[in-house]
Amino acid sequence: MSIRTYIFTLLTGLILLIAVGLSFQSARFFIDSFGMVVESMMFNIGQQYPEDGKSEQTILKYHSTTEWHKVPQPVRDKFPTIPAEKNKLHSKFIDWIYIQPPKKIYSLIVVERDNKTVFVSHFNEDVHAKRHEKHPKDNYLIDPMILIILIGLSVLAIFILVLLYIFKKIAVPVESLQLWGKNLKINELNKPRPDFTFKELNGLAKLMHENLTSVADAVEREQAFLSYASHELRTPIAVIRSNAALLEKISPAPTEKERQIRDRIQRASLTMKSMTETLLWLSREGKTEMAVETTALGELVKNTRAELAYLLAGKEVTVEVAVDNSQVALAVTPSIIVLSNLIRNAFQHTQQGHVDIRQHGHEVIITNITSKQIKANAKKEELGFGLGMKLVEKLTRQFGWPYQLSQVANGYRASISFHHSDSKK
C-alpha cells in the first residue's frame, strides 16, 4: 500500500466517522429540542386550562381535561392506563423511520394542579397529509432529518475534494522525486537537479545526488587504479617470465635447490599474470561489451588444468578430468578467469587427496577431496588466494552464471553453469 492510499483511507474514514457522529448528534438534538418545546407547551396549557368551571377545553389543538374518560379515544387507545409519571411528556410514534416524520403521533402529559389532575393530549393520525396541505408540491420541503444528512454528506464530499487536491500537490512532487532517483545515471550527474517544489524534497534530492556523486567518484578512482596497476604490472611480469625462460635455455640442468627456486618464480609469475589480466578486464567493466563466442568449453577446462598443474608439484594428489565436445556460447576471457580461479582454489586446498573436474554441456563441477588438512600458514606465498574467489563471485553475478560452492565430506564442491544470457553481456 502506498503512503498516499494509506493516508487518504485513514483521513477519509476519520472524517466519515466524525460526519456520521455529528449528524446523528444533530438529529438527536433536533428531536429532543422539539420534544422539550412540545412538553413545555402542553405543561403550560395544563397549568392554565381547563379554566375554572370547565372540565375540558381545547387550546391550540391541544385537548385539556380533568376527567380521564374525556381524553380523546385515540389517545386512550394508545395509553390504556394513566401514566404513573407526572409532568412528563409521553409520546408514541406510529410508522416512524429516522429520516422521515411518523405517520401518526399520540402525545399525553399528566399535570398536577391545585390538588387535581389535568390530562393534556394531542394526536395526529394523518401527519403526512397535513404536511402536504401546509406545503404544496410547488413549495418543495426537505425534511429536517434529510437536511442534516445532506449537510453531513456535503461536508464529507468537500473534505474529500480538498484532501485530493492536497494529495495532488504533495504526491506529484514525491512521485517525481522517486522517478528521478530511479532513473538517475552516473553519466547524468552533471545535469541540474529538478525543482521538487518543497524544500524537504529538494534537500532529499540533493542528498541523493551527493551520495551518488561520491559513489561515482569512488568507482572511477577504483577503475583508474585497477587500470594503472594492471598496466604497470604487466611489464615487470613479462620481464620476469622472459628471463625465467632465458635462464632455462642458458642453464637447462640446474641443481635441485636452484630448480625449486626457478619453479617458485614460474608459479608466482603465472599467478600474477592471471591476476593482472583479471584486474585489467575489471577496470574496463561497463565501458566495453564483452564479446560472446561459441567455443569448446571442455578445451578451456583442459587447458586451464594444464596451466595450473604446477600447483600440484610435490603433492600426493590425483586429478581426474572428464569433458565432452559441447560448443557453448560464452564470454571467453571471463570464463577462463572463473575456471582458473576455481581450479587454482581446488589445487591449493588439496595437499593430499583427489580433485575431480567434470564438464557436461555448459556446466562445470569441480570437487576436491583432501585426506590431509592444510596447515594454518601453508601456501601463503601463492598470490591471489583470497582475491580469486571474490572475483569469481563478482563475475558470475555480473554474467548471471548460476554458481554454488558447497561443503562435502572432507572437501568442497564448486558448480557453475556458463549459460549465456543476452542481458548479462
pLDDT at 423: 41
C-alpha 230 chain-centroid distance: 43
pLDDT of 376: 38
Pairwise CA distance, residues 391 & 271, whole Å: 14
Please list the pLDDT of the chain residue by residue as tens digits (425 residues).
566 676 777 777 777 777 777 767 666 666 677 678 888 888 898 888 888 888 889 888 889 998 998 999 998 998 989 988 888 888 888 876 655 667 788 889 999 888 889 999 988 887 656 555 555 554 444 566 677 677 777 877 888 888 778 777 777 788 788 888 888 877 777 788 888 877 888 888 888 888 888 887 887 777 777 677 766 777 788 888 888 888 888 888 888 888 878 877 877 777 677 667 766 666 665 544 567 889 999 999 998 898 888 888 888 899 999 999 999 998 887 888 899 889 988 988 888 999 999 999 999 999 999 886 544 344 444 434 456 777 788 888 888 899 998 988 888 999 999 975 544 44
Which segments of the chain belong to CATH 1.10.287? Answer: 185-288
**Per-residue model confidence (pLDDT) at position 380:** 40
CATH topology of domain 185-288: Helix Hairpins (1.10.287)
Evaluated on CA atoms 40, 43, 48, 51, the torsion sign reads: positive
CA–CA separation, 339 and 345 (whole Å): 10
Residues of the chain with CATH 3.30.565.10: 290-424
Provide the pLDDT for residue 361.
92
Q: Give the three cell numbers for residue 323.
A: 569433458
Report the CATH fold assignment for 290-424. Heat Shock Protein 90 (3.30.565)
User: Residue 365 has what pLDDT?
Assistant: 95
Over residues 192-212, the pLDDT tens digits come to: 888 887 788 888 888 888 888
pLDDT at 425: 40
Provide the 8-state DSSP code for 361.
Answer: T
Write the CB contacts of 392 (distance below 8 Å, at least 6 apart in sequence).
337, 338, 341, 342, 403
List of long-range contacts for 391-395, beta carbons under 8 Å, 24+ apart: 391/278, 391/282, 391/337, 391/338, 391/341, 392/337, 392/338, 392/341, 392/342, 394/282, 395/334, 395/337, 395/338
CA dihedral over 209, 212, 214, 217, signed as positive or negative: negative
pLDDT at 402: 92
Report pLDDT for 378.
42
Three-class DSSP category at 82: coil
Name the grid cell of 86.
407526572
Spatial separation of the C-alpha atoms in residues 203 and 216, rounded to whole Å: 20
3-state secondary structure of 259: helix
Distance between CA 233 and CA 231 in Å, rounded?
Answer: 6
Return d(Cα 21, Cα 14) in angstroms, integer.
Answer: 11
- Residue 354 has a pLDDT of 93
What is the DSSP secondary structure assignment for residue 273, as one 8-state letter?
Answer: H
3-state secondary structure of 189: coil
The three three-digit cell numbers of residue 206, written as one number: 540533493
pLDDT score recorded for residue 319: 93
What is Dmax (Cα atoms) for the chain?
A: 155
Cβ distance 109 to 86 under 8 Å? no
